[in-house]
Amino acid sequence: MKTLVLGIGNPILSDDSVGMRVAIEIENRLRKKYPEQNPLLQVKVKEVSIEGFSILDEIAGYDRLILIDSIKTGNRRPGDVYKLSIKDLSFTSHLSSSHGVDFATVIELGEKLGYKIPQIIEIYAIEVEDNTTFAEECTQKVRIKIPKIVDKIIEAIDGM
């Protein structure tokens, strides 16, 4: 199964970068775990700072998408993870895009336009403390949770 692990964020906005940082650590761990012939060659890991329709070009052609991004609800502790599906996102039309196009709408439009959209989409939304301060590192509360988040996602990858 051709899988894309996609970490999304802004590398200079503190906790907003957590999706990218988790993706980088996943890639590093997979390289260490499989230094020779990687049985997970079907797994590609990327980190991007995009949103809206631009995401279609990144995800098209994969069978499975593992999307990692930040979320700020104030309902959970920084570093806690929400595991969501695309159906969980259909309740809003402005989930995380400054262009007014949410991820669920992008997926729906991509399918209508003939893009090969992943049939399996898993979303790991990481509760953040600060996603507006210019900083090249996550806050301490989020940073210390990254290794456990990576463990959880690698377990999901290995279990495919």
pLDDT for 117-127, tens place per residue? 999 999 999 99
Sign of the C-alpha dihedral, residues 140, 141, 144, 146? negative
Nearest partner of 5 among 55, 67, 48, judged by Cα: 67
Each domain of the chain, given as residue ranges in start order, spans 3-158
Tell me the pLDDT tens digit for each residue of 35-73: 776 655 689 999 999 878 889 999 999 999 999 999 999
- Separation between Cα atoms, residue 20 and residue 125, nearest integer Å: 12
Answer yes or no: are the C-beta atoms of 129 and 95 closer than 8 Å. Answer: no
The Cα 57–Cα 113 span in angstroms is 12
Where are the alpha helices (H) located in the chain, listed in sequence order?
18-33, 55-59, 103-112, 140-143, 146-158
Q: 3-158 belongs to which homologous superfamily?
A: HybD-like (3.40.50.1450)
The pTM is what?
0.89
Cα(21)–Cα(128) distance, rounded to whole angstroms? 13
